[in-house]
Amino acid sequence: MRELCLGIDLGTSGVKAVATDRDDRVVAQATAALAVHRPRPHWSEQAPEDWWQATLRAVVTLPADVRRAVRAVGLTGQMHGAVLLDAADRPLRPAILWNDGRSAPQCAELERREPRARQITGNLAMPGFTAPKLLWVREHEPELFARTARVLLPKDYLRLRLTGERASDMSDAAGTLWLDVARRDWSDAMLAATGLERAHMPGLVEGTEPAGRIRPDVAAHLGLDSVIVAGGGGDNAASAVGCGVVAPGDALLSLGTSGVLFVVTDRFRPNPEQAAHAFCHALPGLWHQMAVMLSAASALDWAAPLTGCADVPAAAAAAERRGPRADTPLFLPYLAGERTPHNDAHARGVFFRLSADTTSADLVMAVLEGVAHGLCDGLDALAAAGGHIDDLSVVGGGARLPYWMRLLASALDRRLVLRAGGDVGAALGAARLARIASGEDARAVCLAPPVQAVFEPEPSLAEWLHRRRPAYRGLYERLQDSFKEFPP
């Protein structure tokens, strides 16, 4: 069999292993499911051991001849999670995930301790980031904090188990609030503000550099050779690499658990006041701006069973049959709080203007529309931060819903371009980074994949959405204080 690369994507709902050849063809793929534990309101946790076991299951599910042909591995996955390890590299507690909101009070404390935080990191302190989580642990679990010898990000815990190396790449590290993003190095000042030092941090590499080699015992168990593991990237940066979004001005829309608008920049261009992010790209010498809403395709995953639909495609089909109506309810998609542009961990989902005539299809239509309006808020935030976006390449599970793509194109007033491999975007990007780490030329590897479909804005949908957007925005403005008055 021809030489292959393996991309491993540690998502929130599962671990995906995707083997690709040198032409980006997906030769085999497998997924192992994960569950999120929510022991208290606002909390979101997973056990690192569960990630590891899911990774083993996903990889060994691939055909044996495919595994034997793998020549390099790339890692990607959910960002911001806090994996606390003791001196023997054992997890001290469940990992606190990116969509965990418990550390909202610690965000203000972090910026009080280091007034230059926004200039150094390019971002507002938000509870999704890693550093405020460590302040929460320091305050509420001081004995565990004292025993913490190392802090890793989720995909880098997999690297540790695969290779024994403690390393992270620039794009993922930029989401911790410990990185000096312009300098692409740890910030001693931000670490000190959290009570940590460089010794607590993994080594830093670019996403295209080798960062370990699979240990012989692990390789034997997985049926792989002891191949290199690339630095890899955070899930959105890896998705961008997979889509060929690698030149300044190139842009991506990711519709996974969260919704992300991503635009490449040639330098560090922060504007944290808009609650937009400025991170390193997974490729050397590049950065990106990003707007994030915490519930996107996950809002549909929630709505489908709630409305009695068999699955998400059935729910979207019901909404399409019902269509946009004057009496369609409004929906605020803040099921887990929100980042861009509100930075509001207290915000929650709301259906507004229900009546005795409201149907289950109307509710799904409201969810599709609400996420579209939320992404428009993100687009406005990026424009205010100096980002310019034309066409958008689309990845993620939500991209498989053509009617939603039509709505989103009409709301955003942008062409949406679905490319080959978009359904495995982050894993494909990780495999591409592995190819580069193994010696291939980055320019030849990071080409835009073939176009599979294009969705243009539709005037009738655009007019309906544009007319309703002020009511959507006004609803949040009226309710934002109420969210804080009724904590869980």
pLDDT value at residue 423 = 78
- The tally of CA atoms less than 13 A away on the side-chain side of residue 151 is 29
Structural contact between residues 151 and 134, judged by C-beta atoms closer than 8 angstroms: yes
**What does the block give as tokens for 124?**
């507002």
- How many angstroms separate the most distant Cα atoms in the chain? 64
Q: What average pLDDT does the structure give for the chain?
A: 95
- Closest by alpha carbon to 283, among 112, 90, 448, 446? 446
**What does the block give as tokens for 481?**
């204080």
Give the active site residues. Answer: 235
Distance, in Å, from the CA atom of 320 to the CA atom of 333, rounded to the nearest integer, reads 19
The model's pTM is: 0.90
Structural contact between residues 339 and 275, judged by C-beta atoms closer than 8 angstroms: yes
Residues 6+ apart with CB under 8 A from 235: 9, 11, 76, 77, 78, 79, 254, 256, 426
Distance, in Å, from the CA atom of 302 to the CA atom of 348, rounded to the nearest integer, reads 14
pLDDT digits (tens, 9 = 90+) for 102-135: 999 999 999 999 999 999 999 999 999 999 999 9
Instruction: Indicate the burial class of 225 (C-beta count within 10 angstroms; 0-12, 13-18, 19 or more).
Output: middle
pLDDT digits (tens, 9 = 90+) for 166-218: 999 999 999 999 999 999 999 999 999 999 999 999 999 999 999 999 999 99
pLDDT value at residue 422 = 78
| Per-residue pLDDT at 6 exceeds 80 | yes
pLDDT value at residue 257 = 85
Distance, in Å, from the CA atom of 447 to the CA atom of 470, rounded to the nearest integer, reads 39
* Mean pLDDT value of segment 15-26: 94
pLDDT digits (tens, 9 = 90+) for 235-245: 999 999 999 99
pLDDT value at residue 154 = 98
| Per-residue pLDDT at 463 exceeds 90 | yes
pLDDT digits (tens, 9 = 90+) for 53-79: 999 999 999 999 999 999 999 999 999
Residues 6+ apart with CB under 8 A from 416: 253, 391, 392, 394, 405, 408, 409, 454, 455
pLDDT value at residue 488 = 56
Long-range pairs of 139-142 with CB within 8 A, sequence gap ≥ 24: 139/106, 141/93
Which domains are seen in the chain, by residue range?
A: 4-243 (3.30.420.40)
Residues 6+ apart with CB under 8 A from 142: none
Structural contact between residues 109 and 133, judged by C-beta atoms closer than 8 angstroms: no
| Per-residue pLDDT at 370 exceeds 80 | yes
Residues 6+ apart with CB under 8 A from 412: 253, 372, 375, 376, 379, 392, 457
Highest mean pLDDT, choosing among 210-214, 291-295, 337-341: 210-214
Residue 1 — very low, low, confident or very high, per pLDDT cuts 50/70/90? low
Q: Which amino acid is at 158?
A: L
% pLDDT > 90, the chain: 88
Q: For 323-425, where are the E strands, in sequence order?
A: 330-332, 350-352, 392-395, 416-419
